[in-house]
A and B are shown apart, each in its own frame.
Chain A
Amino acid sequence: MKRYLTIATALMLAASSLLTAAPSSAQSKGEIVIGLQCDRTGATQIVGTVLCPGFHDYIALVNSRGGVEGHMIKAIEIDHEYKVPPGVESYERHKKEGAVTIAVYGTPHIYALTQKLTEDRIPGTSPGFGSAAAADGQRYPYIFPIAATYWSQAAAAVDFAKKHLSGGLKGKKIAYLFYDNPAGREPIEVLEDIAAKEGFQLKTFAVPPPGVEMGAQVLDIAQRYRADFVISHLFGGAPSVSIKELKRVGYPLKKVIGLVWASAEANIEGAGGFGVADGYYAMQFAGVGTDYPVLNEIREMYKKQGKPAPKEMASTVFYNRGVLIGALHVEAIRNALKAKPDGKITGVDTKNGFEKISNFTLGGLVPPLKITATDHEGGGLVQIWQVKDGKFVKSTEWFAAYQDVVAKHIKESGKK
């Protein structure tokens, strides 16, 4: 029985030491806090393990040059394993630490936090995920997609197909291969509208979670439906499987486009490498590759510290997205500080700061977004890159398409 006493004492000791060791929320003066949600261990860890270091590296770069308007930036990262309760906890923690803006990560998380963010007046971003309707800044004043939503992505994919297929879209067959969850089904209504407008045939092929089995769907697309073009909207490990399966049934990959979460190096490598996926088109909301001034600056920063550049930089799609997200947050803070030089900015100021972002391109890594009080998406701009000769090669510049259709849907969902 003695051991229980020992255990109890040990637990108490541990608890008391934790209480004393807990970091205090006091910050050095002038520091500005950004909350960062991450997923380095959960369902989407292939994104988180690369994207979050990109975010931190950009913040470190900004700080190494004296911060923003003389204020240092502190990014507090909390990993939520892609689970909602830890996401809620992390939000409250960020709020406690005084975050003026929060980079939310995960579609269920942005949904779960929408009401809280609005009540507490802290802007939260959902780049490339979350609800497309949140682009409506009037209805969701504190939610900022700050990148092309699924609606804009789907619209851009159709537009790309139109330019890619000779003779326009009339009478053509487009297959939409999607992950069967809300995020996967979100673009369907937009696609159907555009199909009616352009006169092409649209057929949807659902892949049930966890998305590792789609032999039947792919065979259907290639052999029975004989699609002229495939738009693939998959997540996690599913994009790799889709590329592999399409290749197996002999469907030409140069007639396939993956939306933004089906378009990273990790997805291509998972499918068997760049050689296998040759021809595959990938949609991006941040520039791809290593050839951007900001990335050179980050490498130089590491060099000055006598350290090698982090290995995450090699995975350019997600890393660059991390840089983009960090940069847009910093830019919003910069705008807020310009408006309030005393440095006492709140979430409301950063919200206004976000709404002033325009033509901030970071040397081509960030699209020329124009975020306004009504449009929190910033124009729905994407680039298309193609897998070619072992790397991603740019095939279009920043563009957006069918924004009238997207706007109509945003308006309609606002009425609900």
Chain B
Amino acid sequence: MSLGDFLLFIIGAILVNNILLHRFLGNCPFLGVSQRMDTATGMSMAVIFVMTMAGTITWIVQYYLLVPLRIEYLQTIAFILVIAALVQLVEIVMQKTLPALYKALGIFLPLITTNCAVLGVAIINISEEYDFVNTVVFSFASAVGYSLALVLFAGIRERFALARIPKVLEGTAIGLVTAGFMALAFSGFAGLASH
């Protein structure tokens, strides 16, 4: 892969095939934590951290454990256990070594286990047959794309406090419609990289 291809690969993962708005992964926390900017940024950081690690470790588990033992059909169970254990481990290690960061991200970490974007990226890495470097880069870039969409969306949603929204559309309904228009804006990037 040349450098140009590599850059396009990264841009494709962040903007064009945005994991949230294009692939529909991780929508529950997207709508859940985007009411306020500070929770959205906290969640974004936690996702970037966990998704990159989870993508890398599940790749290793797949090719050095499941494939040699010929138990690839246990992929789903193995991956979700790896992710759950990883999240727990990150939580404990962070609490002991980086208390300041733990205070900021603490409450978001348990939520990430059920964030389908993390498991989704792990499975995409395998199904697209990425090599190790591509896996690490794709996991990180997807997480950055997720964070970008989440933080932008939280910024828009904070303004809703000042807007007059029809009663029937309050809360999640208007959130979904807004997300739709954001997805429309993101689909404008489609010409950047044809992937």
A binds B: no
Question: Which B residues are closer than 8 A to A by beta carbons?
Answer: none
Question: Which A residues are closer than 8 A to B by beta carbons?
Answer: none
